[in-house]
A and B are shown apart, each in its own frame.
Chain A
Amino acid sequence: MRYLPLTDADRSSMLNRIGVSSVDDLFVDVPAAARFDGTFDLPDHMAEFAVEGHMSKMAGRNTTTADVPSFLGAGAYRHHIPASVDHLTQRGEFLTSYTPYQPEISQGTLQALFEFQSMVALITGMDVANASMYDGATSCAEAVLMARRVTRRNRALVSGSVHPHYSAASETQAKYVDIKIDICDPDLDGTEDLTDQIDDETACVVVQNPGVFGHVRDLSPLAAVCQEKGALLIVVVTEAVSLGAMQSPGEMGADVVVAEGQSIGNPQGFGGPYVGLFAAREKYVRQMPGRLCGETTDVDGKRGWVLTLSTREQHIRREKATSNICTNAGLCALAFTIHLSLLGENGFRDLAMLNHARASQLADRLADVDGVEVLPEAFFNEFAVRLSKPAGEVVDRLAARDVLAGVPASRLYGAGTELDNILLIAASELTTFEDMDALVAALSEELS
C-alpha cells in the first residue's frame, strides 16, 4: 500500500522488539464485544489511476459554472484565482503543517496570518481581525455570542437584509444559551428601518451590506442609533470583493464586521471550505473568538510572531472560553492573503469596480426583458430581479438550456412564499458580454 511505509519484515522486527507475537496483542484493551471481525460493505484498495478515473467520472457528472454562463451568487461567487495562489498554497510547508503551536518553526504560517489579520482589518475598516473562522455564517453566529459577552444583554436583532444561512446559523448557535433572536422579514425593497426595534435590551443589530437582495446602503444612521442604545452594530459582508468599491463598514460605524472571504483566493467548491473573516474594534479584542497572531521578539531581539491572547481559548479556558473553535480555516486564509497581495491597493479596487461594472451592464440589459424587473437601484455585483414566473422553475428550465441563471430566493427561504418569483443574479469579472446575451436570450424566451 503506497501510503504505508512499513514492510512485513519491518512489522515483524518491531513486534519482536515490543515482545508480542502479533499486532492483535496490542489491542488487548479492546473488549471482545467491541471488536469488529465482520465485512464492511466497502471496496478494497485501489491503484492511484483507478481512484483518479473513478472520481473524474464523478466530477464529470456536474455541469459547473466554468462550463456554461453562470450568474450564481448568494454568498458564494465565481472569481478568477491567479495561478500563483494555488501554487503557493500547495507548498508542503504550508499545506502539511498545523496550527503554529511551536512558533520557532512556524514563522511562515504566523507571518502570513499576521498579514491576513492586517489586510482584513484594513479592508473592513476595523482595528483588529482574528486569524479566521470556518465561514461567514459561523463568523456571524460567533459575533452574536460576542455581543452578548460585551453588552451583557440577551437580545439580537437580525435585519431582513441578512442571508438566511447566516441568520439561521446565528439562531442555532444562540438558541441554547438564552439569546433571543428576532429575525426581521426579508427586506426585498431595501427600505427596512430598524430604529424602533432597537431598545435597551438589544445586544446587537446584525445587518448585511450589500444586502442579500443586493441593496447597497449607507449604514451610518443605523450605527448612530445603535451607539445611542448601547447595542453593537454587526455588519455582514457575503461578497468580500465589494469592500474594494464601497465605503468600509468601519467607516460607516460598525463595531464588528463578519464576512465570507471565499471570493478572494478560494474556489466555489460546492460550498466549502471557505474562510470566515472576523474583525472588530480594538476594545473588544479580549472578547473575540478564535486564534490571534501577534508580533513580539525572540531572545535575540529579532521580530517574530506568536499565537497570543490564548487565555480566551478552549485549550486554556475550557468551559469558560470565548468559543469552542480550535481548527479554523488556515489554508483558505492563506489563499485569501496571497490573492489580495497580488491584487494590492489598485488591483483590489479595480477588480471591485470591474465587478460592479459587469453587474451594472447586465442590469441594463435585463431591464429590457419583458417579465424581468431589476429591484435594487444601488447594488454592487449582485441584484434581485422579480420575474413574471416562479424563479425556481425558470432556473431549472434555463439549466436545461445550459445557462445557470442565478439563485432563486426559494432556495434560501423555502418555496411557497411571496418571494417565489425573486431571482438573485450575480456578475463578476469573469462574466462576459456573450454570457449576458445568453442569459437575456434564454430569459426572454422562457418568460414570453
Chain B
Amino acid sequence: MSHSRDLSRGAAAVGSATTDTVHGHQGLLLEEPLLFEIDNPGAIGVDLPDPGDFTPRLGGVARQGEIGLPSVSEPEVVRHFTRLSQKNYAIDMGTYPLGSCTMKHNPRLNEKMVRLPGFANAHPMQPDSTVQGAFELIDGVAHWLKELTGMPAIAMSPAAGAHGELCGVMAIRAALDDREGGPTTRRRILVPDSAHGTNPATAAVCGFSVDAIPSDARGRVDVKAFADKLDDDVAGIMITNPNTCGLFEPDMIEIAELIHDAGGYFYCDGANFNAIVGRVRPGDLGIDCMHINLHKTFSTPHGGGGPGAGPVVLSDALAPFAPVPWVVHGEDGFSLVEHADDAGDAKPFGRLKGFHGQMGMFVRAYAYMLSHGRDGLRQVANDAVLNANYVVSCLSDVMTPAFDGPCMHECLFDDRFLKDTGVSTLDFAKAMLDEGYHPMTMYFPLVVHGAMLIEPTETESKRGLDEFIAVMRALVDRARAGDSDAFVAAPTMTPRRRLDETAAARQPILRWSPEVPTAEAAE
C-alpha cells in the first residue's frame, strides 16, 4: 500500500521549526510524495485508439511482464508537478545572483517563438527545400555571433558551454596535427588556476595534460608566469575573459601574441561574454576560438540544468577544422554540409552530436537578439556591469571585496569579513535562503578564500538590488553580533533544511524501488 504511506515522515521530528500538521503541509508549502507512491493501477493520463488489425513483427523479443511504471491520471500528474515546481527557487521569483551563470530574465517571447509550428515540427532530416526557414534562422544566429565577436567563422553544433570547449580544443588539436603532419607532439594546455572546472576537464578529454597558471595579486593571469611556461610542448591556452574573478584580463592581446609566437592557439571561454557584448569584440584580442553560452548571454532558459547551447566562433586558422554539419548558402538557397566528403577544402575534425545543433536554443536566442538589437545589447553589458559595481559600492564597507577597482558583470568577495564570527561562507549562503534569495556562487573561484561571487545581471532593477543589499548588510550585522548559531541552523523556512550529502554519497539511493518505501513505511 505504498500510496497510502505517511507523506510527512519525520515532519514532527524533535527540533523541527515547523508546526505539526496531518500530512506535513505548511499552508501553501505542500508535501508531495514520489509519483511511484501515488501509483494507482488502472489509472491513466492518456487516451489512445485501438490499433486495429496488424501483424506483430517483433521477432520474438516482445516485452513480457511489467515494467514497473506508475499509473496516474492527468489531474494527478498536473498537481504532482505543479507542487514540485513550487519547491523551486527561480529567476521568475527573485534575484538569482549565481556568479558565472548569468541568471538573467528569460523572455517569454522566446518560448512563444520556439513553439511556432514551423520550427517545433520540423524534422532535422527533411529535404533542404522544405526547411529553408530553419537554415535561415541558423545562418542568422551565426551572423549575429560572428559579428558581435569579430570572428570569421563559427561552429553551431555544440550543445552547451563545455561541449563548445570540446569543440574548440579539438579544433586546436586538429590544427596542430595538420600542421605537424601527424599526431602533435605538443602535450600541454595552459589553464589559469581561477578557471571553471570544465576547462581542465575538456583539455584532458582531448588528450592534453593541464598546466595551471597562477593568478597574480590583481586576480589576473600572471603574464610572466605564463610566458615562462611557453615552449614547444604547449598546444594552447584557455582563458576566461572576463575571468571568474569578474575582472577583465587586460593583457589578452599580449597573451595572444605570446602564445601564437610559441606556436600554440588561444581558447577564450566566453561564459562571461555578457559583460562585454557590444563593447568588446573578442576577435580584436587575437583569440582563435570562443564558445558562447546562449543560455547565459542570450537569455535562453536554464531549465533546472539545461539544455544549453554552446556555438564556437573560430579564427581563420581553426575554421577549416570545424566539425560537421554546417549551413551553406548557394544559388538554390541554403543547404547543409553533413559529410567530410562534401566539405571541399575543409578538414572537419569529426562530428560532435546528432543532427545540427540546439535549434530550439537558436530560435530563442534569435528572438532575444532581435528584441535587443545592436544598441540594446551594448546597453545589456553596460547595465550588467553597472549593477555589479553598484552592489560592490553598497557592500564594500561591511564585506570584503577580493580585489580593488571596478569589476565587470560580477563581483567577488572573500570571507575575511566573517573572520572570528563562527559563520562560514556556506552558513552565510544558507541564511540567504531564509531571506528569500538564491545565494551567490560559493567557494569559486578557488583562488579566493571562502569566495562569494555575485552576478546580479542587467535584468535586476535598482529597487531589487537595494532590497538585496539591505539583506546582505543585515546578515553581516547579525554574523558580527555573534549570532552564529542561527547561521549554522539555517535555513529553517525552506521546503527542506540542510540535507545530508555525506549519507547520500556513502550509500547512494539513485532510484525508486518497490522495496525501499515498504521498509520505510514501517518506521
Is B366 part of the contact surface with A, judged by Cβ < 8 Å? yes
Residues of B within 8 A of A52 (CB): 109, 112-113
Q: For residue A374, which residue of chain B has the nearest CB?
A: B57
Most buried by B among A39, A118, A349, A377: A118
Is A122 part of the contact surface with B, judged by Cβ < 8 Å? yes
Q: Could you tell me if B59 and A217 are in contact, using CB atoms closer than 8 angstroms?
A: yes
Q: For residue A68, which residue of chain B has the nearest CB?
A: B130
Is B367 part of the contact surface with A, judged by Cβ < 8 Å? yes
Q: Could you tell me if B509 and A295 are in contact, using CB atoms closer than 8 angstroms?
A: yes
A134-B160, A399-B129 known; A93-B58 Cβ under 8 A: no
Most buried by A among B8, B499, B503: B499
Is A137 part of the contact surface with B, judged by Cβ < 8 Å? yes
CB within 8 Å of A: which B123-161 residues: 123-127, 129-134, 136-137, 143-144, 147-148, 150, 159-161
Is B476 part of the contact surface with A, judged by Cβ < 8 Å? no
Residues of A within 8 A of B117 (CB): 59, 64, 66-67
Q: Could you tell me if B207 and A399 are in contact, using CB atoms closer than 8 angstroms?
A: no
In angstroms, Cα B37 to Cα A358, docked, is 34
Q: Which of B44, B159, B342 contacts A272 (CB 8 A)?
A: B159
In angstroms, Cα B80 to Cα A253, docked, is 34
Residues of A within 8 A of B206 (CB): 176-177
CB within 8 Å of B: which A48-69 residues: 48, 50-52, 54-67
A29-B250, A298-B498 known; A3-B105 Cβ under 8 A: yes
By size class, the interface of chain A is 35 or more
Q: Could you tell me if A176 and B207 are in contact, using CB atoms closer than 8 angstroms?
A: yes
In angstroms, Cα B444 to Cα A316, docked, is 11
How distant is A262 from chain B, measured CB to nearest CB, in Å? Answer: 9
How distant is B163 from chain A, measured CB to nearest CB, in Å? Answer: 6
Residues of A within 8 A of B62 (CB): 245-247
Q: Which of A5, A18, A314, A323 contacts B462 (CB 8 A)?
A: A5
Q: Could you tell me if A3 and B201 are in contact, using CB atoms closer than 8 angstroms?
A: no
Is A351 part of the contact surface with B, judged by Cβ < 8 Å? yes
Q: For residue B284, which residue of chain A has the nearest CB?
A: A34
Q: Which of A76, A315, A338, A364 contacts B55 (CB 8 A)?
A: A364
Residues of B within 8 A of A1 (CB): 372, 376, 379
Q: Could you tell me if A92 and B501 are in contact, using CB atoms closer than 8 angstroms?
A: no
Q: Could you tell me if A341 and B508 are in contact, using CB atoms closer than 8 angstroms?
A: no
How distant is B312 from chain A, measured CB to nearest CB, in Å? Answer: 14
Q: For residue A77, which residue of chain B has the nearest CB?
A: B123
Q: How many residues of B contact A (CB 8 A)?
A: 214
Residues of A within 8 A of B339 (CB): 414
Q: Could you tell me if B394 and A272 are in contact, using CB atoms closer than 8 angstroms?
A: no
How distant is B318 from chain A, measured CB to nearest CB, in Å? Answer: 15
Q: Could you tell me if A272 and B357 are in contact, using CB atoms closer than 8 angstroms?
A: yes
Q: Could you tell me if B501 and A326 are in contact, using CB atoms closer than 8 angstroms?
A: no
Is B36 part of the contact surface with A, judged by Cβ < 8 Å? yes
Q: Could you tell me if B122 and A64 are in contact, using CB atoms closer than 8 angstroms?
A: yes
Q: For residue B390, which residue of chain A has the nearest CB?
A: A14
Residues of B within 8 A of A112 (CB): 81, 84, 304
Mask, B30-66, CB within 8 Å of A = 1, is 0010111000010111101101101111111111101
Mask, A239-256, CB within 8 Å of B = 1, is 000001111100010000
Q: Which of B11, B375, B511 contacts A300 (CB 8 A)?
A: B11
Q: Which of A121, A376, A404, A414 contacts B123 (CB 8 A)?
A: A404
Is B389 part of the contact surface with A, judged by Cβ < 8 Å? yes
Is A224 part of the contact surface with B, judged by Cβ < 8 Å? no
Q: For residue B442, which residue of chain A has the nearest CB?
A: A101
Is B497 part of the contact surface with A, judged by Cβ < 8 Å? yes
Residues of A within 8 A of B207 (CB): 176-178
In angstroms, Cα B54 to Cα A35, docked, is 68
A42-B144, A44-B375, A176-B207 known; A342-B122 Cβ under 8 A: no
Q: For residue B34, which residue of chain A has the nearest CB?
A: A115
A42-B373, A296-B499, A346-B71 known; A138-B353 Cβ under 8 A: yes
Most buried by B among A25, A96, A291, A353: A96
A129-B511, A270-B123, A356-B57 known; A62-B383 Cβ under 8 A: no
Q: For residue A406, which residue of chain B has the nearest CB?
A: B125
Q: Could you tell me if B279 and A317 are in contact, using CB atoms closer than 8 angstroms?
A: no
CB within 8 Å of A: which B355-387 residues: 355-361, 363, 366-367, 369-376, 379-380, 382-383, 385-387
Is B417 part of the contact surface with A, judged by Cβ < 8 Å? no
Stretch touching chain A among B225-233, B258-266, B295-303, B479-487: B295-303
Q: For residue B498, which residue of chain A has the nearest CB?
A: A299
How distant is B202 from chain A, measured CB to nearest CB, in Å? Answer: 4
Q: Could you tell me if A45 and B280 are in contact, using CB atoms closer than 8 angstroms?
A: no
Known: A166-B354, A273-B309, A347-B71. 9 other contacts (CB 8 A): A54-B370, A59-B133, A94-B85, A99-B305, A308-B508, A327-B293, A331-B304, A341-B72, A343-B46
Jot down 7 A-B pairs with beta carbons below 8 A, ordered by A.
A42-B143, A95-B111, A176-B206, A302-B8, A314-B200, A315-B198, A414-B339
- Smallest CB-CB A-B distances: 8 pairs: A378-B59, A59-B118, A331-B303, A172-B350, A271-B355, A92-B92, A61-B133, A342-B45
